[in-house]
Homo-oligomer: A and B are copies of this chain.
Protein backbone atom coordinates (compact mmCIF):
# COMPACT_ATOMS: atom_id res chain seq x y z
CA UNK A 1 0.00 0.00 0.00
CA UNK A 2 1.03 3.57 -0.60
CA UNK A 3 1.00 6.10 2.20
CA UNK A 4 1.96 9.75 2.20
CA UNK A 5 3.16 11.29 5.45
CA UNK A 6 3.46 15.05 5.86
CA UNK A 7 5.82 16.07 8.64
CA UNK A 8 5.64 19.69 9.77
CA UNK A 9 7.35 21.69 12.50
CA UNK A 10 4.96 22.11 15.44
CA UNK A 11 3.03 25.36 15.48
CA UNK A 12 4.88 27.97 17.48
CA UNK A 13 8.26 26.31 17.16
CA UNK A 14 11.14 27.61 15.14
CA UNK A 15 10.93 26.95 11.43
CA UNK A 16 14.10 28.57 10.09
CA UNK A 17 13.59 27.23 6.58
CA UNK A 18 10.03 28.59 6.48
CA UNK A 19 11.27 31.93 7.68
CA UNK A 20 13.99 32.01 5.03
CA UNK A 21 11.53 31.14 2.25
CA UNK A 22 9.11 33.82 3.46
CA UNK A 23 11.85 36.45 3.42
CA UNK A 24 13.07 35.39 -0.02
CA UNK A 25 9.55 35.51 -1.49
CA UNK A 26 8.90 38.89 0.09
CA UNK A 27 12.16 40.21 -1.33
CA UNK A 28 10.94 39.03 -4.72
CA UNK A 29 7.70 40.96 -4.60
CA UNK A 30 5.23 38.43 -3.19
CA UNK A 31 2.95 39.31 -0.31
CA UNK A 32 3.31 36.36 1.97
CA UNK A 33 1.65 36.08 5.37
CA UNK A 34 3.12 32.78 6.44
CA UNK A 35 5.34 29.97 5.19
CA UNK A 36 5.93 26.63 6.82
CA UNK A 37 8.36 24.10 5.42
CA UNK A 38 8.21 20.43 6.26
CA UNK A 39 8.87 17.03 4.74
CA UNK A 40 6.84 14.59 2.68
CA UNK A 41 7.63 10.91 2.91
CA UNK A 42 5.91 8.68 0.36
CA UNK A 43 6.05 5.06 1.41
CA UNK A 44 5.16 1.87 -0.36
CA UNK A 45 4.84 -0.79 2.31
CA UNK A 46 3.20 -4.16 2.94
CA UNK A 47 -0.53 -4.29 3.59
CA UNK A 48 -1.13 -4.26 7.33
CA UNK A 49 2.01 -2.31 8.22
CA UNK A 50 1.59 -0.39 11.47
CA UNK A 51 2.03 3.07 9.97
CA UNK A 52 1.61 4.91 13.25
CA UNK A 53 4.44 2.86 14.80
CA UNK A 54 6.61 3.37 11.74
CA UNK A 55 6.08 7.13 11.67
CA UNK A 56 6.21 7.83 15.40
CA UNK A 57 9.06 5.44 16.00
CA UNK A 58 11.27 6.18 13.05
CA UNK A 59 10.30 9.20 10.99
CA UNK A 60 9.43 12.07 13.28
CA UNK A 61 10.76 13.84 16.33
CA UNK A 62 7.58 14.18 18.41
CA UNK A 63 9.07 16.99 20.49
CA UNK A 64 9.25 19.36 17.56
CA UNK A 65 7.29 17.81 14.71
CA UNK A 66 3.74 16.78 14.00
CA UNK A 67 2.43 14.69 11.14
CA UNK A 68 -0.53 13.93 8.94
CA UNK A 69 -1.03 10.58 7.23
CA UNK A 70 -2.80 10.75 3.87
Residues of A within 8 A of B (CB): 6-8, 18, 21, 24-25, 28, 30-46, 49, 54, 57-59
Contacts and interface: CB of A to CB of B under 8 A. Distances in A.
B34 A41 contact: no
Please report whether the interface of chain A is mostly helix, strand, loop or mixed according to DSSP: strand
Nearest to A35: B43
A66 B9 CA distance: 23
A-B CB proximity, top 6 nearest:
A34-B44, A33-B44, A36-B42, A31-B46, A38-B40, A40-B40
- How many subunits of this chain does the assembly comprise? 2
Contacts of A33: 44-46
A26 to B, nearest CB: 11
